[in-house]
Amino acid sequence: MCLYEMDKENGALDSLYTLYKQASKSSILNAYEETFKNLYYSLQSVDEELKHIRDTHSNDALDLDSLQNRQYLIKKLYRKYGGSYMSLMESKKNIMDKIDRIIHRQDVFDKLEKEKEESFAAYMKLANELSVKRKAVFSLLESKVMEHCKDLMLENARFKISCTEKKPSSNGIDEIEFLVSMNPGQDFSSLSVSASGGELSRLMLALKVVFQASNGIETIIFDEIDTGVSGKVALAMGAKMKALSNKYQVLCITHLASVAVMANTHYLVSKKSTFNETITRVQKLDHDQTIQELAVMTSGEASVKAKESMQDLWVKIHG
Protein backbone atom coordinates (compact mmCIF):
# COMPACT_ATOMS: atom_id res chain seq x y z
CA MET A 1 0.00 0.00 0.00
CA CYS A 2 2.85 2.37 0.84
CA LEU A 3 4.63 1.68 -2.50
CA TYR A 4 1.42 2.17 -4.41
CA GLU A 5 0.86 5.61 -2.85
CA MET A 6 4.38 6.66 -3.85
CA ASP A 7 4.51 5.15 -7.38
CA LYS A 8 0.99 5.73 -8.68
CA GLU A 9 0.23 8.48 -11.20
CA ASN A 10 0.15 11.81 -9.36
CA GLY A 11 1.37 9.97 -6.28
CA ALA A 12 3.88 11.22 -3.72
CA LEU A 13 6.91 10.97 -6.04
CA ASP A 14 5.15 12.64 -8.99
CA SER A 15 3.92 15.47 -6.74
CA LEU A 16 7.37 16.15 -5.27
CA TYR A 17 8.98 16.08 -8.72
CA THR A 18 6.40 18.58 -10.00
CA LEU A 19 7.04 20.91 -7.05
CA TYR A 20 10.78 20.67 -7.65
CA LYS A 21 10.44 21.61 -11.36
CA GLN A 22 8.01 24.46 -10.64
CA ALA A 23 10.34 25.88 -7.98
CA SER A 24 13.24 25.94 -10.44
CA LYS A 25 11.19 28.11 -12.81
CA SER A 26 9.46 30.38 -10.31
CA SER A 27 11.07 33.40 -8.72
CA ILE A 28 8.67 33.02 -5.75
CA LEU A 29 9.41 29.29 -5.10
CA ASN A 30 13.04 29.44 -6.18
CA ALA A 31 14.20 29.56 -2.56
CA TYR A 32 12.58 26.10 -1.97
CA GLU A 33 14.00 24.43 -5.07
CA GLU A 34 16.81 22.67 -3.21
CA THR A 35 14.47 21.56 -0.42
CA PHE A 36 11.99 19.99 -2.85
CA LYS A 37 14.84 18.38 -4.72
CA ASN A 38 16.25 16.77 -1.53
CA LEU A 39 12.83 15.58 -0.46
CA TYR A 40 12.22 14.02 -3.87
CA TYR A 41 15.50 12.11 -3.90
CA SER A 42 15.05 11.01 -0.24
CA LEU A 43 11.58 9.66 -0.96
CA GLN A 44 12.86 7.99 -4.13
CA SER A 45 15.55 6.29 -2.01
CA VAL A 46 12.89 5.03 0.43
CA ASP A 47 10.82 3.79 -2.50
CA GLU A 48 13.77 1.79 -3.84
CA GLU A 49 14.46 0.23 -0.41
CA LEU A 50 10.84 -0.79 -0.02
CA LYS A 51 10.84 -2.37 -3.45
CA HIS A 52 13.98 -4.29 -2.51
CA ILE A 53 12.32 -5.58 0.67
CA ARG A 54 9.23 -6.50 -1.31
CA ASP A 55 11.25 -8.37 -3.91
CA THR A 56 13.30 -10.17 -1.24
CA HIS A 57 10.20 -11.50 0.50
CA SER A 58 8.00 -11.96 -2.49
CA ASN A 59 8.53 -15.71 -2.36
CA ASP A 60 7.51 -16.04 1.31
CA ALA A 61 4.00 -17.32 1.06
CA LEU A 62 1.76 -16.79 4.05
CA ASP A 63 0.54 -20.10 5.42
CA LEU A 64 -2.99 -19.24 6.54
CA ASP A 65 -3.58 -22.66 8.13
CA SER A 66 -0.45 -22.30 10.25
CA LEU A 67 -1.50 -18.85 11.40
CA GLN A 68 -4.99 -20.08 12.30
CA ASN A 69 -3.55 -23.03 14.21
CA ARG A 70 -1.23 -20.72 16.09
CA GLN A 71 -4.10 -18.37 16.91
CA TYR A 72 -6.13 -21.32 18.21
CA LEU A 73 -3.20 -22.46 20.36
CA ILE A 74 -2.72 -18.97 21.81
CA LYS A 75 -6.42 -18.68 22.69
CA LYS A 76 -6.31 -22.13 24.27
CA LEU A 77 -3.33 -21.14 26.40
CA TYR A 78 -5.10 -17.94 27.43
CA ARG A 79 -8.11 -19.92 28.61
CA LYS A 80 -5.96 -22.42 30.50
CA TYR A 81 -3.72 -19.88 32.23
CA GLY A 82 -5.96 -17.08 33.43
CA GLY A 83 -7.32 -15.40 30.31
CA SER A 84 -4.80 -12.60 29.96
CA TYR A 85 -1.29 -12.00 28.66
CA MET A 86 -0.04 -11.15 32.16
CA SER A 87 -1.43 -14.34 33.69
CA LEU A 88 -0.01 -16.38 30.80
CA MET A 89 3.45 -14.90 31.33
CA GLU A 90 3.20 -15.51 35.09
CA SER A 91 2.31 -19.14 34.42
CA LYS A 92 5.21 -19.43 31.99
CA LYS A 93 7.57 -18.08 34.64
CA ASN A 94 6.28 -20.58 37.21
CA ILE A 95 6.70 -23.48 34.76
CA MET A 96 10.21 -22.37 33.83
CA ASP A 97 11.07 -22.07 37.52
CA LYS A 98 9.79 -25.60 38.07
CA ILE A 99 11.83 -26.89 35.13
CA ASP A 100 14.87 -25.12 36.52
CA ARG A 101 14.33 -26.73 39.93
CA ILE A 102 14.08 -30.16 38.29
CA ILE A 103 17.22 -29.61 36.26
CA HIS A 104 19.07 -28.31 39.31
CA ARG A 105 17.22 -30.48 41.84
CA GLN A 106 20.34 -31.48 43.71
CA ASP A 107 21.11 -27.81 44.36
CA VAL A 108 17.52 -27.37 45.56
CA PHE A 109 17.82 -30.43 47.83
CA ASP A 110 21.08 -29.16 49.28
CA LYS A 111 19.55 -25.73 49.92
CA LEU A 112 16.46 -27.21 51.57
CA GLU A 113 18.58 -29.54 53.69
CA LYS A 114 20.63 -26.61 54.90
CA GLU A 115 17.49 -24.60 55.69
CA LYS A 116 16.08 -27.63 57.53
CA GLU A 117 19.21 -27.96 59.65
CA GLU A 118 19.23 -24.25 60.46
CA SER A 119 15.53 -24.28 61.33
CA PHE A 120 15.92 -27.35 63.54
CA ALA A 121 18.86 -25.77 65.35
CA ALA A 122 16.77 -22.64 65.98
CA TYR A 123 13.84 -24.82 67.14
CA MET A 124 15.99 -26.79 69.57
CA LYS A 125 17.41 -23.58 71.01
CA LEU A 126 13.90 -22.27 71.72
CA ALA A 127 12.66 -25.67 72.91
CA ASN A 128 15.50 -25.98 75.43
CA GLU A 129 14.89 -22.44 76.68
CA LEU A 130 11.19 -23.28 77.09
CA SER A 131 12.07 -26.49 78.93
CA VAL A 132 14.28 -24.61 81.40
CA LYS A 133 11.52 -22.07 82.07
CA ARG A 134 8.97 -24.84 82.62
CA LYS A 135 11.12 -26.76 85.07
CA ALA A 136 11.88 -23.56 86.98
CA VAL A 137 8.21 -23.22 88.05
CA PHE A 138 7.47 -26.89 88.79
CA SER A 139 8.23 -26.56 92.50
CA LEU A 140 6.06 -23.45 92.89
CA LEU A 141 3.13 -25.04 91.03
CA GLU A 142 3.39 -28.22 93.09
CA SER A 143 3.26 -26.28 96.37
CA LYS A 144 0.27 -24.19 95.21
CA VAL A 145 -1.69 -27.29 94.18
CA MET A 146 -0.90 -28.95 97.52
CA GLU A 147 -2.10 -25.84 99.34
CA HIS A 148 -5.47 -25.97 97.59
CA CYS A 149 -5.72 -29.74 98.11
CA LYS A 150 -5.54 -29.26 101.89
CA ASP A 151 -8.38 -26.72 101.69
CA LEU A 152 -10.40 -29.34 99.80
CA MET A 153 -9.96 -32.02 102.47
CA LEU A 154 -7.23 -33.93 100.63
CA GLU A 155 -4.80 -33.78 103.55
CA ASN A 156 -2.88 -36.90 102.55
CA ALA A 157 -2.60 -36.07 98.87
CA ARG A 158 0.79 -35.45 97.28
CA PHE A 159 1.24 -33.88 93.86
CA LYS A 160 4.28 -34.01 91.58
CA ILE A 161 5.05 -32.92 88.03
CA SER A 162 6.98 -35.45 85.93
CA CYS A 163 8.97 -34.22 82.93
CA THR A 164 10.70 -36.44 80.37
CA GLU A 165 12.08 -35.65 76.96
CA LYS A 166 9.93 -36.50 73.95
CA LYS A 167 10.10 -36.24 70.18
CA PRO A 168 10.14 -32.56 69.11
CA SER A 169 6.66 -31.19 68.46
CA SER A 170 4.80 -27.90 68.23
CA ASN A 171 4.75 -27.57 72.05
CA GLY A 172 8.38 -28.41 72.69
CA ILE A 173 10.40 -31.43 73.78
CA ASP A 174 8.86 -31.98 77.23
CA GLU A 175 6.48 -34.84 78.00
CA ILE A 176 4.73 -33.53 81.11
CA GLU A 177 2.55 -35.69 83.35
CA PHE A 178 0.80 -34.86 86.63
CA LEU A 179 1.41 -37.55 89.25
CA VAL A 180 -0.41 -37.95 92.57
CA SER A 181 -0.36 -40.08 95.66
CA MET A 182 -3.70 -39.96 97.48
CA ASN A 183 -2.84 -42.02 100.57
CA PRO A 184 0.17 -42.38 102.89
CA GLY A 185 2.69 -44.90 101.59
CA GLN A 186 1.15 -44.98 98.12
CA ASP A 187 3.52 -44.55 95.19
CA PHE A 188 3.05 -41.74 92.71
CA SER A 189 0.97 -42.60 89.65
CA SER A 190 -1.00 -40.72 87.01
CA LEU A 191 -4.09 -38.80 88.02
CA SER A 192 -6.55 -41.06 86.21
CA VAL A 193 -5.18 -44.17 87.96
CA SER A 194 -4.78 -42.83 91.51
CA ALA A 195 -7.84 -40.70 92.11
CA SER A 196 -11.44 -41.72 92.67
CA GLY A 197 -14.30 -39.72 91.17
CA GLY A 198 -14.64 -37.35 94.10
CA GLU A 199 -10.90 -37.01 94.59
CA LEU A 200 -10.44 -36.31 90.90
CA SER A 201 -13.06 -33.54 91.06
CA ARG A 202 -11.23 -31.86 93.93
CA LEU A 203 -7.84 -32.23 92.23
CA MET A 204 -9.25 -30.75 89.03
CA LEU A 205 -10.62 -27.82 91.04
CA ALA A 206 -7.19 -27.24 92.59
CA LEU A 207 -5.44 -27.48 89.21
CA LYS A 208 -7.91 -25.20 87.48
CA VAL A 209 -7.58 -22.59 90.21
CA VAL A 210 -3.76 -22.64 90.04
CA PHE A 211 -3.37 -22.57 86.26
CA GLN A 212 -6.13 -20.13 85.41
CA ALA A 213 -5.07 -17.74 88.14
CA SER A 214 -1.45 -17.97 86.95
CA ASN A 215 -2.50 -16.95 83.45
CA GLY A 216 -3.98 -13.67 84.64
CA ILE A 217 -7.55 -14.75 83.80
CA GLU A 218 -10.22 -12.63 85.48
CA THR A 219 -13.13 -15.07 85.07
CA ILE A 220 -13.02 -18.74 86.15
CA ILE A 221 -15.72 -21.15 84.97
CA PHE A 222 -16.45 -24.43 86.77
CA ASP A 223 -18.73 -26.78 84.83
CA GLU A 224 -19.99 -29.50 87.21
CA ILE A 225 -16.52 -29.86 88.70
CA ASP A 226 -18.13 -31.11 91.93
CA THR A 227 -19.19 -34.44 90.37
CA GLY A 228 -18.85 -37.36 92.78
CA VAL A 229 -18.70 -35.35 96.01
CA SER A 230 -21.20 -34.58 98.74
CA GLY A 231 -21.52 -33.54 102.38
CA LYS A 232 -18.56 -31.78 103.96
CA VAL A 233 -16.44 -32.17 100.83
CA ALA A 234 -19.07 -30.39 98.71
CA LEU A 235 -19.19 -27.60 101.28
CA ALA A 236 -15.40 -27.35 101.18
CA MET A 237 -15.44 -27.09 97.39
CA GLY A 238 -18.15 -24.46 97.53
CA ALA A 239 -16.17 -22.53 100.14
CA LYS A 240 -13.06 -22.68 97.91
CA MET A 241 -15.01 -21.23 94.98
CA LYS A 242 -16.48 -18.54 97.20
CA ALA A 243 -13.01 -17.59 98.42
CA LEU A 244 -11.87 -17.34 94.80
CA SER A 245 -14.73 -14.95 94.05
CA ASN A 246 -12.98 -12.34 96.21
CA LYS A 247 -10.31 -12.05 93.46
CA TYR A 248 -12.01 -13.39 90.34
CA GLN A 249 -15.41 -13.57 88.75
CA VAL A 250 -16.51 -17.18 89.33
CA LEU A 251 -19.21 -18.89 87.27
CA CYS A 252 -20.22 -22.35 88.47
CA ILE A 253 -22.63 -24.87 86.98
CA THR A 254 -23.67 -27.32 89.71
CA HIS A 255 -26.35 -29.73 90.88
CA LEU A 256 -25.30 -29.55 94.54
CA ALA A 257 -27.18 -27.22 96.84
CA SER A 258 -24.22 -27.10 99.24
CA VAL A 259 -22.12 -25.60 96.41
CA ALA A 260 -24.79 -23.38 94.86
CA VAL A 261 -25.69 -21.81 98.23
CA MET A 262 -22.24 -20.18 98.34
CA ALA A 263 -22.99 -17.94 95.35
CA ASN A 264 -24.20 -14.37 95.55
CA THR A 265 -26.25 -14.51 92.33
CA HIS A 266 -28.19 -17.47 90.98
CA TYR A 267 -29.57 -18.40 87.58
CA LEU A 268 -31.87 -21.31 86.82
CA VAL A 269 -31.18 -23.06 83.52
CA SER A 270 -34.08 -25.11 82.17
CA LYS A 271 -34.99 -26.80 78.90
CA LYS A 272 -38.35 -27.23 77.23
CA SER A 273 -38.71 -29.64 74.32
CA THR A 274 -41.46 -30.00 71.74
CA PHE A 275 -41.71 -32.42 68.83
CA ASN A 276 -39.41 -30.29 66.62
CA GLU A 277 -37.33 -28.02 68.85
CA THR A 278 -35.67 -27.59 72.24
CA ILE A 279 -35.63 -24.21 73.98
CA THR A 280 -33.13 -23.41 76.74
CA ARG A 281 -34.18 -20.77 79.22
CA VAL A 282 -31.97 -18.89 81.69
CA GLN A 283 -33.79 -17.13 84.52
CA LYS A 284 -32.24 -14.90 87.18
CA LEU A 285 -33.63 -15.80 90.63
CA ASP A 286 -34.52 -13.54 93.50
CA HIS A 287 -33.87 -14.62 97.09
CA ASP A 288 -37.14 -16.52 97.62
CA GLN A 289 -36.80 -18.29 94.27
CA THR A 290 -33.19 -19.19 95.13
CA ILE A 291 -34.19 -20.77 98.44
CA GLN A 292 -36.95 -22.71 96.70
CA GLU A 293 -34.63 -24.09 94.00
CA LEU A 294 -31.96 -24.97 96.59
CA ALA A 295 -34.60 -26.90 98.53
CA VAL A 296 -35.54 -28.82 95.36
CA MET A 297 -31.86 -29.57 94.68
CA THR A 298 -31.28 -30.96 98.18
CA SER A 299 -34.51 -32.92 98.80
CA GLY A 300 -36.31 -33.19 95.47
CA GLU A 301 -39.16 -30.90 96.50
CA ALA A 302 -39.65 -27.41 97.88
CA SER A 303 -41.11 -28.53 101.21
CA VAL A 304 -41.35 -26.15 104.14
CA LYS A 305 -38.72 -28.11 106.06
CA ALA A 306 -36.32 -28.16 103.09
CA LYS A 307 -36.73 -24.41 102.52
CA GLU A 308 -36.16 -23.68 106.22
CA SER A 309 -32.99 -25.78 106.12
CA MET A 310 -31.68 -23.91 103.06
CA GLN A 311 -32.58 -20.56 104.64
CA ASP A 312 -30.61 -21.47 107.76
CA LEU A 313 -27.61 -22.50 105.63
CA TRP A 314 -27.89 -19.28 103.62
CA VAL A 315 -27.84 -17.15 106.80
CA LYS A 316 -24.89 -19.13 108.15
CA ILE A 317 -22.87 -18.48 105.01
CA HIS A 318 -23.96 -14.99 103.97
CA GLY A 319 -24.99 -13.59 107.35
Structural element, H or E, at residue 7? helix 2-7
Residue type, 15: S
pLDDT the model gives residue 6:
62
- For the stretch 295-319, pLDDT in tens is 998 888 888 898 989 999 899 888 7
Confirm if 182 and 154 have CB atoms less than 8 A apart: yes
d(CA 86, CA 34): 52
Least confident window among 31-35, 130-134, 151-155, 265-269: 31-35
- Check whether 212 has a pLDDT greater than 60: yes
pLDDT at 61 over 60: no
* Alpha carbon distances (Å) from 197 to 25, 100, 202, 228, 230: 127, 64, 9, 5, 11
Q: What is the pLDDT of residues 214-241, one digit of tens each?
A: 666 788 888 877 777 778 888 888 888 8
pLDDT of residue 162: 92
Helix (H, G, I), strand (E, B) or coil at 1: coil
Q: Which of 19-23, 50-54, 103-107, 200-204 has the lowest mean pLDDT?
A: 50-54
Q: Give the mean pLDDT of 40-64.
A: 65
Max mean pLDDT among 52-66, 210-224, 232-246 falls in 232-246
pLDDT over 60 (residue 25): yes
Q: Give the residue from 120, 127, 125, 221 showing the smallest Cα distance to 166.
A: 127
Residue 268 CA: distances (Å) to CA of 281, 292, 296:
8, 11, 12
Q: Is the pLDDT of residue 56 over 80?
A: no
Q: Give pLDDT, residue 117.
A: 94
pLDDT value of position 107: 82
Amino acid letter, 214: S
**Residue 95 has what pLDDT?**
83
Q: Is 285 exposed, middle or buried (0-12, 13-18, 19+ CB in 10 A)?
A: middle
pTM: 0.52
DSSP state for residue 167 in the 8-state scheme: E
Q: How far is CA 182 from the centre of its chain?
A: 41
- pLDDT (0 to 100) of residue 19: 74
* SS3 state of residue 300: coil
Q: How far apart are CA 4 and CA 11, in angstroms?
A: 8
The per-residue pLDDT of the chain, averaged, comes to 82
Residues 237 and 259 sit within 8 Å (Cβ to Cβ): yes
pLDDT at 73 (0 to 100): 80
Distance of alpha carbon 310 from alpha carbon 304, whole angstroms: 10
pLDDT (0 to 100) of residue 283:
93
Of 74 and 10, the structure prediction assigns the larger pLDDT to 74
Q: What is the pLDDT of residue 234?
A: 83
Model confidence band, residue 132 (pLDDT cutoffs 50, 70, 90):
very high
Least confident of 56-60, 160-164, 213-217: 56-60
| pLDDT tens, position by position, 98-119 | 888 778 778 878 888 999 999 9
* pLDDT value at residue 136: 94
